[in-house]
Protein backbone atom coordinates (compact mmCIF):
# COMPACT_ATOMS: atom_id res chain seq x y z
CA UNK A 1 0.00 0.00 0.00
CA UNK A 2 2.49 2.55 1.24
CA UNK A 3 4.91 1.22 -1.28
CA UNK A 4 2.59 1.84 -4.22
CA UNK A 5 1.82 5.32 -2.87
CA UNK A 6 5.56 6.09 -2.82
CA UNK A 7 6.13 4.75 -6.33
CA UNK A 8 3.13 6.67 -7.66
CA UNK A 9 4.19 9.92 -5.99
CA UNK A 10 7.71 9.70 -7.39
CA UNK A 11 6.46 8.78 -10.86
CA UNK A 12 4.04 11.70 -10.71
CA UNK A 13 6.99 14.05 -10.27
CA UNK A 14 8.56 12.91 -13.55
CA UNK A 15 5.31 12.73 -15.42
CA UNK A 16 4.43 16.31 -14.47
CA UNK A 17 7.86 17.55 -15.49
CA UNK A 18 7.67 15.62 -18.77
CA UNK A 19 4.24 16.97 -19.64
CA UNK A 20 5.35 20.49 -18.83
CA UNK A 21 8.34 20.24 -21.14
CA UNK A 22 6.14 19.88 -24.22
CA UNK A 23 8.88 20.40 -26.78
CA UNK A 24 11.02 17.79 -25.10
CA UNK A 25 8.06 15.42 -25.16
CA UNK A 26 7.28 16.14 -28.80
CA UNK A 27 10.82 15.50 -29.97
CA UNK A 28 11.19 12.38 -27.83
CA UNK A 29 8.12 10.89 -29.45
CA UNK A 30 8.95 11.95 -33.00
CA UNK A 31 12.63 11.14 -33.03
CA UNK A 32 12.45 7.34 -33.45
CA UNK A 33 9.76 7.64 -36.12
CA UNK A 34 11.99 10.04 -38.04
CA UNK A 35 14.89 7.64 -37.70
CA UNK A 36 12.81 4.84 -39.03
CA UNK A 37 11.84 6.79 -42.13
CA UNK A 38 15.23 8.27 -42.99
CA UNK A 39 17.65 5.78 -41.59
CA UNK A 40 15.92 2.68 -42.85
CA UNK A 41 15.01 4.43 -46.07
CA UNK A 42 18.60 5.42 -46.78
CA UNK A 43 20.28 2.20 -45.64
CA UNK A 44 17.60 -0.02 -47.14
CA UNK A 45 18.71 0.61 -50.71
CA UNK A 46 22.31 -0.24 -49.88
CA UNK A 47 21.55 -3.51 -48.11
CA UNK A 48 21.93 -6.86 -49.81
CA UNK A 49 18.67 -8.76 -49.18
CA UNK A 50 20.65 -12.03 -49.04
CA UNK A 51 22.78 -10.76 -46.16
CA UNK A 52 19.84 -9.27 -44.27
CA UNK A 53 17.65 -12.29 -44.88
CA UNK A 54 14.64 -10.29 -46.11
CA UNK A 55 13.99 -7.76 -48.82
CA UNK A 56 11.96 -5.64 -46.41
CA UNK A 57 14.76 -3.68 -44.72
CA UNK A 58 12.31 -1.43 -42.90
CA UNK A 59 10.78 -4.44 -41.16
CA UNK A 60 14.29 -5.67 -40.43
CA UNK A 61 15.25 -2.28 -38.96
CA UNK A 62 12.19 -1.78 -36.72
CA UNK A 63 13.65 -3.80 -33.81
CA UNK A 64 16.95 -1.94 -34.29
CA UNK A 65 15.20 1.42 -34.07
CA UNK A 66 13.37 0.26 -30.95
CA UNK A 67 16.68 -0.73 -29.38
CA UNK A 68 18.20 2.58 -30.48
CA UNK A 69 15.37 4.41 -28.71
CA UNK A 70 15.62 2.37 -25.52
CA UNK A 71 19.39 2.93 -25.36
CA UNK A 72 18.89 6.68 -25.80
CA UNK A 73 16.26 6.76 -23.09
CA UNK A 74 18.45 4.63 -20.83
CA UNK A 75 20.75 7.61 -20.43
CA UNK A 76 17.88 9.88 -19.38
CA UNK A 77 16.62 7.17 -17.02
CA UNK A 78 19.41 7.91 -14.60
CA UNK A 79 19.26 11.70 -14.81
CA UNK A 80 16.99 12.30 -11.82
CA UNK A 81 19.18 10.14 -9.61
CA UNK A 82 22.28 11.82 -10.98
CA UNK A 83 20.99 15.32 -10.34
CA UNK A 84 19.20 14.56 -7.05
CA UNK A 85 22.56 13.32 -5.83
CA UNK A 86 24.24 16.57 -6.83
CA UNK A 87 21.56 19.04 -5.76
CA UNK A 88 21.13 17.36 -2.37
CA UNK A 89 17.48 16.50 -2.95
CA UNK A 90 18.40 12.82 -2.67
CA UNK A 91 19.28 13.54 0.98
CA UNK A 92 15.86 15.05 1.56
CA UNK A 93 14.24 11.98 -0.01
CA UNK A 94 16.39 9.65 2.09
CA UNK A 95 15.41 11.49 5.28
CA UNK A 96 11.79 10.52 4.59
CA UNK A 97 10.29 7.26 5.83
CA UNK A 98 10.27 5.71 2.35
CA UNK A 99 11.63 2.44 1.06
CA UNK A 100 14.96 2.83 -0.69
CA UNK A 101 13.71 0.58 -3.47
CA UNK A 102 10.86 2.99 -4.28
CA UNK A 103 13.40 5.45 -5.66
CA UNK A 104 14.56 2.82 -8.16
CA UNK A 105 11.28 1.04 -8.85
CA UNK A 106 9.46 4.30 -9.63
CA UNK A 107 12.03 5.06 -12.28
CA UNK A 108 11.57 1.63 -13.85
CA UNK A 109 7.82 2.13 -13.91
CA UNK A 110 8.19 5.53 -15.52
CA UNK A 111 10.75 4.41 -18.10
CA UNK A 112 8.79 1.31 -19.08
CA UNK A 113 5.72 3.50 -19.60
CA UNK A 114 7.68 6.03 -21.69
CA UNK A 115 9.40 3.42 -23.81
CA UNK A 116 6.20 1.46 -24.39
CA UNK A 117 4.52 4.61 -25.66
CA UNK A 118 7.41 5.23 -28.04
CA UNK A 119 7.41 1.65 -29.26
CA UNK A 120 3.73 1.94 -30.06
CA UNK A 121 4.46 5.07 -32.10
CA UNK A 122 7.31 3.31 -33.91
CA UNK A 123 5.08 0.33 -34.72
CA UNK A 124 2.34 2.63 -35.97
CA UNK A 125 4.73 4.46 -38.28
CA UNK A 126 6.05 1.09 -39.45
CA UNK A 127 2.47 0.02 -40.11
CA UNK A 128 1.99 3.05 -42.31
CA UNK A 129 5.18 2.08 -44.14
CA UNK A 130 3.71 -1.36 -44.78
CA UNK A 131 5.24 -3.43 -41.98
CA UNK A 132 2.85 -6.08 -40.58
CA UNK A 133 4.36 -8.08 -37.69
CA UNK A 134 4.18 -11.73 -38.72
CA UNK A 135 3.27 -12.76 -35.17
CA UNK A 136 0.07 -10.69 -35.13
CA UNK A 137 -1.38 -8.57 -32.30
CA UNK A 138 -0.08 -10.93 -29.62
CA UNK A 139 3.34 -10.47 -31.15
CA UNK A 140 3.05 -6.72 -30.54
CA UNK A 141 2.45 -7.51 -26.89
CA UNK A 142 5.56 -9.72 -26.88
CA UNK A 143 7.53 -6.88 -28.48
CA UNK A 144 6.42 -4.65 -25.61
CA UNK A 145 7.56 -7.31 -23.13
CA UNK A 146 10.97 -7.44 -24.80
CA UNK A 147 11.11 -3.64 -24.67
CA UNK A 148 10.25 -3.66 -20.97
CA UNK A 149 12.98 -6.21 -20.22
CA UNK A 150 15.55 -4.25 -22.19
CA UNK A 151 14.44 -1.06 -20.44
CA UNK A 152 14.92 -2.76 -17.09
CA UNK A 153 18.42 -3.87 -18.03
CA UNK A 154 19.56 -0.52 -19.41
CA UNK A 155 17.91 1.56 -16.67
CA UNK A 156 19.63 -0.60 -14.05
CA UNK A 157 22.98 -0.17 -15.82
CA UNK A 158 22.53 3.61 -16.11
CA UNK A 159 21.49 3.91 -12.44
CA UNK A 160 24.49 1.85 -11.37
CA UNK A 161 26.74 4.16 -13.36
CA UNK A 162 25.02 7.25 -11.93
CA UNK A 163 25.77 5.98 -8.42
CA UNK A 164 29.36 5.12 -9.19
CA UNK A 165 30.51 8.33 -10.92
CA UNK A 166 31.72 11.39 -8.99
CA UNK A 167 29.70 13.85 -11.10
CA UNK A 168 27.38 14.14 -14.09
CA UNK A 169 30.26 15.14 -16.36
CA UNK A 170 31.82 11.71 -16.00
CA UNK A 171 28.42 10.09 -16.48
CA UNK A 172 27.82 11.79 -19.81
CA UNK A 173 31.38 11.17 -20.96
CA UNK A 174 31.00 7.45 -20.32
CA UNK A 175 27.49 7.08 -21.74
CA UNK A 176 28.38 9.19 -24.78
CA UNK A 177 31.35 6.95 -25.37
CA UNK A 178 29.46 3.69 -24.82
CA UNK A 179 26.10 4.25 -26.55
CA UNK A 180 27.09 3.90 -30.19
CA UNK A 181 29.44 0.93 -29.74
CA UNK A 182 26.69 -0.73 -27.72
CA UNK A 183 24.34 -0.35 -30.68
CA UNK A 184 26.75 -1.22 -33.44
CA UNK A 185 28.19 -4.18 -31.52
CA UNK A 186 24.76 -5.75 -31.77
CA UNK A 187 22.51 -6.99 -34.55
CA UNK A 188 20.55 -3.71 -34.55
CA UNK A 189 21.23 -2.84 -38.18
CA UNK A 190 23.27 -5.76 -39.49
CA UNK A 191 22.64 -9.48 -38.90
CA UNK A 192 25.21 -11.35 -36.82
CA UNK A 193 26.00 -13.60 -39.77
CA UNK A 194 27.24 -10.61 -41.78
CA UNK A 195 29.72 -9.52 -39.07
CA UNK A 196 33.41 -10.37 -38.75
CA UNK A 197 33.95 -13.20 -36.26
CA UNK A 198 35.31 -11.10 -33.39
CA UNK A 199 32.43 -8.65 -33.67
CA UNK A 200 29.90 -11.45 -33.64
CA UNK A 201 31.44 -12.74 -30.41
CA UNK A 202 31.12 -9.31 -28.80
CA UNK A 203 27.57 -8.93 -30.09
CA UNK A 204 26.59 -12.26 -28.55
CA UNK A 205 27.56 -10.93 -25.13
CA UNK A 206 25.45 -7.83 -25.68
CA UNK A 207 21.96 -7.96 -24.10
CA UNK A 208 20.70 -5.74 -26.93
CA UNK A 209 21.27 -8.58 -29.37
CA UNK A 210 18.78 -10.84 -27.58
CA UNK A 211 16.06 -8.21 -27.36
CA UNK A 212 16.51 -7.42 -31.04
CA UNK A 213 16.64 -11.09 -31.99
CA UNK A 214 13.34 -11.78 -30.23
CA UNK A 215 11.65 -8.74 -31.75
CA UNK A 216 12.99 -9.46 -35.23
CA UNK A 217 11.67 -13.02 -35.17
CA UNK A 218 8.29 -11.66 -34.06
CA UNK A 219 8.22 -9.09 -36.85
CA UNK A 220 9.65 -11.14 -39.71
CA UNK A 221 8.98 -14.83 -38.98
CA UNK A 222 6.18 -15.03 -36.43
CA UNK A 223 6.29 -17.26 -33.35
CA UNK A 224 9.25 -19.62 -33.20
CA UNK A 225 11.40 -21.38 -30.64
CA UNK A 226 13.96 -18.61 -30.92
CA UNK A 227 11.60 -16.11 -29.28
CA UNK A 228 11.43 -17.63 -25.76
CA UNK A 229 15.12 -18.50 -26.01
CA UNK A 230 16.12 -14.90 -26.72
CA UNK A 231 13.70 -13.54 -24.14
CA UNK A 232 15.17 -15.97 -21.61
CA UNK A 233 18.67 -14.67 -22.30
CA UNK A 234 17.32 -11.15 -21.88
CA UNK A 235 15.80 -12.02 -18.51
CA UNK A 236 19.17 -13.34 -17.33
CA UNK A 237 20.94 -10.17 -18.53
CA UNK A 238 18.35 -7.93 -16.86
CA UNK A 239 18.64 -9.83 -13.59
CA UNK A 240 22.42 -9.48 -13.64
CA UNK A 241 22.32 -5.75 -14.33
CA UNK A 242 19.61 -5.28 -11.72
CA UNK A 243 21.86 -6.97 -9.15
CA UNK A 244 24.74 -4.66 -10.08
CA UNK A 245 22.41 -1.66 -9.94
CA UNK A 246 21.07 -2.53 -6.49
CA UNK A 247 24.56 -3.15 -5.20
CA UNK A 248 25.78 0.24 -6.46
CA UNK A 249 22.72 1.99 -5.08
CA UNK A 250 23.24 0.33 -1.69
CA UNK A 251 26.86 1.48 -1.77
CA UNK A 252 25.76 5.02 -2.59
CA UNK A 253 23.32 5.10 0.32
CA UNK A 254 25.40 3.19 2.87
CA UNK A 255 27.71 6.12 3.43
CA UNK A 256 24.32 7.20 4.62
CA UNK A 257 22.33 4.77 6.73
CA UNK A 258 20.45 2.02 4.89
| Rounded Cα distance, 94 and 80, in Å | 14
**Size of the residue set binding another protein (CB under 8 A):** 31
Rg of the chain in Å (alpha carbons):
19
Site for another protein contains 173 (CB under 8 A): no
Contact string (CB under 8 A) for another protein, positions 62-101, x = contact: ------------------x--xx-xxxx-xxxxxxxx---
Binders of another protein among residues 10 to 39 (CB under 8 A) are: 10, 12-13, 16-17, 20-21
Site for another protein contains 256 (CB under 8 A): yes
CB of 87 to another protein, least distance (A): 4
Contact string (CB under 8 A) for another protein, positions 98-117, x = contact: x-------------------
Q: Where are the alpha helices (DSSP H) in the chain?
A: 2-20, 22-35, 41-46, 49-52, 57-77, 79-87, 89-94, 100-128, 136-164, 168-184, 197-204, 207-216, 226-254
Closer CB to another protein, residue 20 or residue 50? 20
CB of 70 to another protein, least distance (A): 24
| Class of residue 205 by CB neighbours under 10 A (exposed 0-12, middle 13-18, buried 19+) | exposed
**Would you tell me which residues interact with another protein (CB under 8 A)?**
2, 5-6, 8-10, 12-13, 16-17, 20-21, 80, 83-84, 86-89, 91-98, 255-258
Amino acid sequence: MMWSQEVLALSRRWLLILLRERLNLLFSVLQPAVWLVFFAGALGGAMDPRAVGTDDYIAFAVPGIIAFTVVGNGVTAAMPLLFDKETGYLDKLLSMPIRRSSLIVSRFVFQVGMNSAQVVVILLVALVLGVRPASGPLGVLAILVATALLTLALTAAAMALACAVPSHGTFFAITGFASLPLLFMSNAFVPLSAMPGWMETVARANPLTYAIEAMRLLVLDGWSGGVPLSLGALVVASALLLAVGSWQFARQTSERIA
